[in-house]
Amino acid sequence: MTKNIKRIFKTSVLLMAGSFMLWNCESEADNLGSQFFEGASAEGVNKAYDVIAYNISNNDTIRSDASKLTYATLGAFSEPQFGLQKSSYVTQARLSTYNPDFGTNPVVDSVVLEIKPVYPTDSVKTVTDDKFVYPDGNVEAKKVTNTYPVTKYGNKNMKLTVNVHEVTDFLGAPSDIVYSDQVVNYSTLLGSKQIGGTVTGTTITKKTDNSELYKSDPYIRVNLDKNFFQNKIIAKKGQPELSDASNFIRYFKGIRISVAENDGYIFKFTPNDTQIKIYYKSDVTSNGTTKATAAVYPISLGSGNVHFNQIANVRTGTPSEPYGKTAAVNYQTGDKRIYAQGMGGPSVGIRIPAATVAQVRELYKTQKIGILSAKIKMYSDTSVWNNSYEKPTNFTSEYFDPTKPQSERRDMSTFLTDLAAFSANGAIQLIKGYNLDKNPAYYELTVTQTFKDIIEKSEEAKDIALSVGAYDLNSNTGMPVAQQYNTRVYTPNRIVLVGTDTDNPANPQLANRAQLHIIYSTKKTQ
């Protein structure tokens, strides 16, 4: 009997005793359950069964409004299997105050769009200038500049050109549901900047007392047309257009942020930290002297505004093309390759064949087997996906019925039984990836409780859908909040997996085909 099966037996004893213990493949925690092996009471069997793996089309569309965007995405990435995926960001704008007073003779100096990307805080390059002189008052100071690499997915060494346009369509209310294929008209180019994949933050402190003179956080900054904002905002002081939010969002409807290129990388940023800053001067008179005084007026692009991602996929001529906009699913015989992609791309469908269910039920009936472990194992397909792109680390999972209309196929009301069964243990990882930095990599989906209920309680065997992304977790329990709260819309990763070939099961390309691996106990024959 293998060490792995013995370990499963030991864990099963704990489970049956009421102690929910997670097992892993690194070590054995103790010798509990060893009585199963020291006598002639039972033996373990490890057996693999083929499953039907198929592609699920999501019509290259996903809900992408503000309620879904903990992070937003921007960029473009193209490769041979999935084609081009390109993400733009559309948002309303709101004044920080209404009926604003910009002072006397206000003149705009500059306007800057600030975007805060995701970056690893521990990967910093610091440059310190101890002899810096702060120009406002010629103050002796210290200048510290921290540079971080933006977290990117795709061709990381390429540059992107960020374009900012004025939106000409009214975008609606923040509570509106918006999908990633939403079309928005736009006109004036407000600004453009080429970015190279790093962000810089600067802090300047006075040498004498270490007080802060200036600070800028690590943002992507795009200079916008100052004349546009002079006429559009500053010159409208006292006018109805700036009197309240309702008038303003119909007057200045918002902006669209996009990239010019069709290849490069996709990065994430925090939408609620996005803003426009108008730097201007106005005349201030004191003691008979008039002086132009600098001021900053912020325009919010984040919370409280309609904002959403537009995500375009161009799959023409690629292997994944049939699984983009089509709703067909090959759930009867499966697909040879499975194309799993985040941000609204295809998902994975898994079906345990009726013949397999019948066969294992017969074992349960005649041999009284006890199912100790059941996992669905899927490998990456190295014949077409043998690259260094970061593989997905998480998948969402739900029961799926391919026979229903597309809008009703996913069961969003519940989690898989296995996740619910371990709800008291926040450490459970239903889907785990292995060798994700290598080729091939593989994933295991734990379906032990699900399969036990199918066999032992004669419950219906349901298909399962896996989608690239992770669940949002409850901060108190560490468990997923609900099916609809997840990271799918802003997870750009993708992978090609080995699927099913019922017409040619001996196909050497399918040596790593999708399978159900079960471990069960049987009584030894004396």
Reported as a single tens digit per residue, the pLDDT across 437-495 is 999 999 999 999 999 999 999 999 999 999 999 999 888 877 888 999 999 999 999 99
Give yes or no: residues 55 and 78 share one domain: no
Higher local confidence (pLDDT), 289 or 98:
98
Residue 511's pLDDT is: 82
Residue 29's pLDDT is: 29
User: Burial, 319: exposed, middle or buried (Cβ in 10 Å; 0-12, 13-18, 19+)?
Assistant: middle
Q: What is the DSSP letter of 392?
A: P
Give yes or no: residues 189 and 235 share one domain: yes
Give yes or no: residues 265 and 335 share one domain: no
Alpha-helical (H) ranges within 233-292 are 245-251
Of 313, 338, 363, which residue sits at a domain end? 313
Task: Give residue 363's domain range.
Answer: 40-59+320-522
| pLDDT, tens digit, 9 for 90 and up, residues 333-342 | 999 999 999 9
Residue 36's pLDDT is: 39
- The pTM for the full model equals 0.89
Instruction: Give the SS3 label for residue 369.
Output: coil
d(CA 429, CA 419) in angstroms, rounded, equals: 8
28 confidence band (pLDDT: 50, 70, 90): very low
Residue 132, pLDDT above cutoff 70: yes
Query: What's the domain count of the chain?
Result: 2
Max Cα distance, the chain (Å): 110
d(CA 476, CA 481) in angstroms, rounded, equals: 11
Higher local confidence (pLDDT), 513 or 476:
513
Residue 458 forms part of a structural domain: yes
Residue 126 forms part of a structural domain: no
Residue 410, pLDDT above cutoff 60: yes
What is the pLDDT averaged over residues 273-293? Answer: 90
Residue 503's pLDDT is: 73
Q: What is the DSSP letter of 157?
A: T
Mean pLDDT of the chain: 89
- Find the helix or strand (DSSP H, E) in which 359 lies: helix 354-367
Name the phi and psi angles at 179, rounded to 5. Answer: -105, 160
User: Burial, 526: exposed, middle or buried (Cβ in 10 Å; 0-12, 13-18, 19+)?
Assistant: exposed
Cβ-Cβ contacts under 8 Å for 423 (sequence gap 6 or more) = 479
d(CA 169, CA 87) in angstroms, rounded, equals: 19
- Find the helix or strand (DSSP H, E) in which 143 lies: strand 139-149
Quick one: tokens of 432? 């785990």
Give yes or no: residues 288 and 343 share one domain: no
Beta bridge partners, 396, equal: 467
Q: What is the DSSP letter of 20?
A: -
Closest among 274, 270, 307 to 174, alpha carbons compared: 307
Of 292, 313, 334, which residue sits at a domain end? 313
Residues composing the chain: 526
Residue 1 forms part of a structural domain: no
Beta bridge partners, 347, equal: 56
Give yes or no: residues 194 and 303 share one domain: yes
Give yes or no: residues 309 and 354 share one domain: no
Residue 508 forms part of a structural domain: yes
d(CA 173, CA 166) in angstroms, rounded, equals: 18
Cα 243 to chain centroid, rounded: 38
Residue 204 forms part of a structural domain: no
Residue 476's pLDDT is: 83
Residue 446 forms part of a structural domain: yes
| pLDDT, tens digit, 9 for 90 and up, residues 349-377 | 999 999 999 999 999 999 999 999 999 99
Closest among 127, 131, 168 to 148, alpha carbons compared: 127
114 confidence band (pLDDT: 50, 70, 90): very high
Q: What is the DSSP letter of 168?
A: -
Residue 44 forms part of a structural domain: yes
Give yes or no: residues 366 and 506 share one domain: yes
Residue 483 forms part of a structural domain: yes
d(CA 438, CA 386) in angstroms, rounded, equals: 9
Give yes or no: residues 277 and 158 share one domain: yes
Of 288, 313, 338, which residue sits at a domain end? 313
Dihedral angle of Cα 323, 325, 330, 334, to the nearest 10 degrees: 10
Give yes or no: residues 253 and 326 share one domain: no
What is the pLDDT averaged over residues 72-100? Answer: 97
Give the amino acid at 373: S
d(CA 63, CA 136) in angstroms, rounded, equals: 48
Give yes or no: residues 104 and 172 share one domain: yes
